[in-house]
Each structure stands twice: as C-alpha cells, then as structure tokens.
Amino acid sequence: MNGKRLQKRVWLFPAAVLVLIVAAVLVDYVFKPRLPVPFSLVPLAAAGGYVIVSAIDAAIALKKVTAGMLVVLALIGCVFVGEYLSGAIVAFMMIFGEFLENLTMEKTRGSVRELLSLVPHTCRKQEGGAWKEVSICEVRPGDLIRVIPGERIPVDGVITSGSASVNEASITGESVPADKTAGDKVFVGSLSENGAIEIRTEKIGSDTVLGKIVSIVHDAQENKGRAQRTADTFAAFFLPAVLLICILVWIITGDIMRVMSVLVIACPCALVLATPTAVIAAVGNAAKRGILIKGGSAVEAMAKVTVICMDKTGTLTEGRPKVTDFTVFDGISREEAAYVLAAAEQSSQHPVGRAVMDYLRTENLMPEELPQGEFEVLFGRGVKTCRKDRTFLVCNGAGLLEAGIFDEKALSYLERKEEAGQTAMIISENGQVLGGISVSDALRESSRDTVRELKNTGCRRIVMLTGDNERTAESICRKAGIEEFHAGLLPQEKLEFLKRLQEEGERVMMIGDGINDAPALAAADLGVAMGAAGTDVAVEASDMALMSDRLELLPAGVALCRRAYRIILENIIVFAFIVNIAGITLSGMGFLNPVAAALIHNASSIFVVLNSSRLLTWRPGKGGGAEYGWKKEGSSKDHRAFESPDRLRYHQRTEK
C-alpha cells in the first residue's frame, strides 16, 4: 500500500467515531427517540473496544502502564454510572491523538527513496577495450566508468582522465560546481554538468558516501522514536494510586458510590486532551503562516532547544550564485568590458557563467550581436573564446598566470574579492586586462535579522555548518551576525559535530535544505527544512519545514512552540492533576457524587480546550522577540559586519 493511500485510510476510523459521537448527541440529547438502549453505547463500544485492546497490547509490549490503562479505568467508571457519551469522548480523544502522532511514520521510506533516486540504474563500463552500457549492479571496485555531460556519477572513485564541472550539492552542499580533473575524487549522485571523465571505481552501494547517507537517515529516524506522552509518564504512578485510593475508600466507607465518584473524577480526559489540543492549535496557527510542524514531539523539542546549527547554502544564502561586483579598469568603458565578458561566457553552461549572463541582461549590458568562435572551458581557471585574431578570456589568478598575463590591478582585485569570500575573475582581450567580475552565493536579505531574532528567543549559541571553504564561510558569518562556524564539512562530519553537542547535554536544532543535510536533520533533536528551496528528502527527514524559503519565519515558529509547550504544562499540572487530586479527595470524603464528579472532570476538560485555543490567535508580543518573522513582508535591515575577524571561531576539516 502506498503512503498516500495509507494516510487516507488511517483517518477513516477516528472520523467514523466522531460521526457516531455527534449522532449520539443528537439522538440522546436533542431528539430523544424511544430506544431500548442509549445510542451513546454505539460510539462507546466502537471506540472503547479499540482503546481497551490497544491499551492491553501496549502494556504487554512495553511492559509498563500507559495512559491507555487510565482510559480503560475511566471507561469502566463511565459505564457504571451511565456516562456513556463521556466515555465515548474519552476513547475518541485517545484514538485521535494516537493517529495524529502516527501519520508521519511513512516518511522514512520516502526519504530513502528520494536518496536512492540519485543513483543511476546504468552506466558506461569499460569491457575488453570498449565502453558498454551495463547495470550498476555489475560494477565492482577497480572498474573503469565513463561519465558524459548531464549524467550523474554512479560510483565513488577517482578521475583517471578528462575534466568536468561537477555539481556536488547533494553531497557537500557546495553551491558552485567544482572543477574536477585527473586525480580528483568524485562521489555517487553528483552531476557532471560539462566535460567527459573516466573514473576508477573505489566504492559501490552502501559503502559510498551517498549509501552512508541513506543508512544514516534511516537509522536516525528509526532510533529517534516518538517522544513518550507526558500522560504516559505520570500514568505509571497515577493508576496504582487511584486503585489504592479506591480500595481504601471502599474499606473505610463501604460506599460504592464514593468509589465510583473517585473513578469518574480520576478520568484522564484533561490529561488526554492536554497535549493534542495545544499541538493542534499551534500547528494550525503556524500552518497559516507557512510553517509545517510535525506533531507534539517537534513542539516539545523546539521548546527545549539550546543550540542552533545552520547550513549555509540555501539556508542563510539564496542557494544560487549572483554577480556581486563588476569593475572596469582605467580607460575601459563598461560596454567594452561587457562585450568581451559576454563573448567569453556565451557558451558556458557553468552556473557562474549563467549568473554572469543573467547579470548582463538585467543591467542592459548584453551586446546586440556576439561574435561566434571556438569556445573552451579552462577547468579550474575560467573560460576562453577564440575568433580569428581575437581571444576573449575570463579567468581567475591561475588562468592569468597560465596566459602569461601579469597586471597589478588585476591581482589586487582578485586578492581583495577572494578575501571577501567571493569567486573573482579577470576580463581580458588579447592579453589586455579590461576589468574584473566577482560572484558569490548571496546572503538572504533576512538572514541577519533572523539570527538576531533567534537569539532573542533564548537560543544564544548559533553555529553555521558548511561544506564551503573557510573564506566564504567567514564572510557569510560576518554578514549574518554568527560568531561560530565550521567549514569544509561532509555530511558525516556535520552529524558527528551534532552528536558531540548532544553528548555535552545540548538540545540541538539543525536547519538545512539539501540532501546532504538529511542525516543531520534526522539526528538532531529538532530538524528544520527549508521548504521551497529544499529537497523532498530534507523535508521528510525533518521535524519542521518552512513551506517557503523565508528563513525569517523561523524565530516566530520557535516562539510559538515555546508558548505551546508552556500551555501544555499548564494543562497537565493545573487542569489535569491539581483538579483531579482535589476532586479525588472530595469524592473520597463524600462531598461529590458520581454526577458531580462527571461535571467537574468535564469542566476541567473544557478549560484545557479553552486554554489551548489561545494558541490559534497567538502572535509574538512587542519586545519579546520574534516579531520580524510574523510580518507579512520582510524588511531589509543593516547587514554591516558585526564584529572583528578575531571574534569568529571556525573549524577547518583536515584532509585525511
């Protein structure tokens, strides 16, 4: 059965019980037809039977008392005093909460399927001096594989010949494809955007980097489990105490009505309603504002977060390169430099080349006619187009040295921009330097405000984890107002860092958008996925998802979850336990009969619902932080560097 069909069917039973409860209200209390038995017995039998069987199974499987046993006890009391409708409602709330919590269990399979879809089913393998298309299952370590432009790499290995621009976003999170040549390592699932390469296979299947990611995501989600309900925690003590009280009341007074009053007032209606009503209200409030919260465990985890870890690409940044500077040198016009730039980049399929061409169009600098010539990709250096006696070159420092061009202005420009964490290139024609252009993965306009608002919610330690280089990471952190970053990390290393934090007693939130973030999202105490910009696997591996790419929504989501958790505690402590303890005392002393006990426990349930419903209209208050994320439109504020370089702490991955 597929996941969607399963999700539809699991709602059929609780929906049917709810319909029966509504029908019972109409039949027994509105129309009041003459029936041999109250109609309320129908939903009570259906829902109560399910709860009793489930409670017994859970007690046997877990070898401990759960909240379900409290409900069974309450159902007995409700039947004895004739409160059939109350019993049906109690059973329905237990069923509803259980199904609400189980709806996302199918997500693990979807996560793994999305990861595995990156692995091609066939590849070109060298056999007998010829290239043959074979199943990926026939590839073994040591085999030689050929990958052409537009294909995904099927194995982990080392390039033996050829050069290519490889998009490794699914593995390392790098926003800009890496230029690879002989001797460089490549990973399964990476995309070869241009250039043909031959790869010597080193790892296949589950031994590859992607295979390990699949395993990590699966294991992390399976081991993470569901947070045990607060009701279950207290039930282990509460049920024996109620039974002991009932026995003592019977021994001391011999009054069965007092015993039944104790059973009814001890009914865990408020306890059962305490968490799901607050969660539903919080989830509904957040959903209207573009935040998907996956149940009560996510609300609880968010409320207890102490450290926030954030990916860079697609989270703090927009996830696509943009031109940040276009400079012409003395005596050169922008139009002349733009003509050479467009002539060199017009045939490039590299994201940097596309970003340059988009910039020229946006700035109305695109020439009406471009010269056609022989285009060449200088892997790791730049691009070149030759036409008769004209050579158009756009390249980095290595490309300049190779072309024999030595220019102080060009070298100064490259050094300045690279120190700022940008990809810088020099524009030249026939050896004459005309200007420079720099590209970077732009910081989201809302990132600095979002980081400040997250700190206002109480999350004082915010860490950026990225696969990018140290200079780029430092530059982004400075602009975003983040004091700590760890650069050059592979997915496993991000996961190891999170685990170290958890071992230190920290509650960790991980925010990311790419497949490479999925293990960390699944293993963190709370995983938050960027929705529109993120991959499906990241969304499924997370506990919370921003349905758009508006990072500024997150602080308000954190504040809402913390408020919801406080209301859950209020519901449990005040309306469930204090009222129950007082009611049990009064019932045992004979001040409450079963009817009065039923009224009190129903009143406590109503107060739980009313208290939780405040979350439906809750908004962050002024001065309390998180106001920014709840606004309809974000605002761009000060993005100046926040501190000096020595305030930044970083960890550069050591190559093994």
> Active-site residue numbers?
311
Asked if residues 255 and 249 have their Cβ atoms less than 8 Å apart, the reply is: yes
User: What is residue 313's DSSP assignment?
Assistant: I
φ, ψ (nearest 5 deg) of residue 446: -90, -5
Q: Residues 6 or more apart from 22 whose CB is under 8 A from it?
A: none
Can you tell me the distance from the alpha carbon of 540 to that of 529, in angstroms, rounded to the nearest whole number? 8
Tell me, what DSSP letter sits at residue 515?
G
d(CA 236, CA 66): 6
Cα 432 from Cα 412, distance rounded (Å):
16
- Residue 244: what residue type? L
Residue 486: helix, strand or coil by DSSP? strand
**SS3 for 463?**
strand
How are strands ordered across the β-sheet holding 130-135?
130-135, 122-127, 144-147, 197-203, 156-162, 185-186
The pair of structure tokens assigned to 599 is 């009224």
The C-alpha atoms of residue 481 and residue 16 are separated, in whole angstroms, by 52
Distance from C-alpha of 571 to C-alpha of 608, rounded to nearest angstrom: 6
Q: Mapped to the 3 state alphabet, what secondary structure does 426-456 carry?
A: EEEECCEEEEEEEEEEEECCCHHHHHHHHHH
Provide the edge-to-edge strand list for the sheet that holds 307-311.
291-293, 544-546, 526-530, 508-512, 307-311, 461-465, 484-487, 649-652
What is the phi-psi region of residue 153: left when phi exceeds 0, alpha when psi lies from -120 to 50, beta otherwise?
beta
CA atoms within 13 A on the CB side of 53: 7
Instruction: Give CA–CA dist 224/220, Å, rounded.
Output: 6
| Contact (Cβ atoms closer than 8 angstroms) between residue 136 and residue 154 | yes
Tell me the DSSP string of 324-380: EEEEE-TT--HHHHHHHHHHHHTT--SHHHHHHHHHHHHTT---SS----EEEEETT
Cβ atoms of 461 and 428 closer than 8 Å: no
Residue 647's contacts (CB-CB under 8 Å, 6 or more residues apart) are 483
Q: Do the bridges between strand 461-465 and strand 307-311 make them parallel or antiparallel, or are there none, so unpaired? A: parallel
CA dihedral sign, ordered 21, 26, 29, 33: negative
Tokens of 50: 């399910």
Relative to beta strand 423-429, strand 390-395 is antiparallel
Both structure tokens of 594: 């079963």
Structure tokens at 278: 């607050």
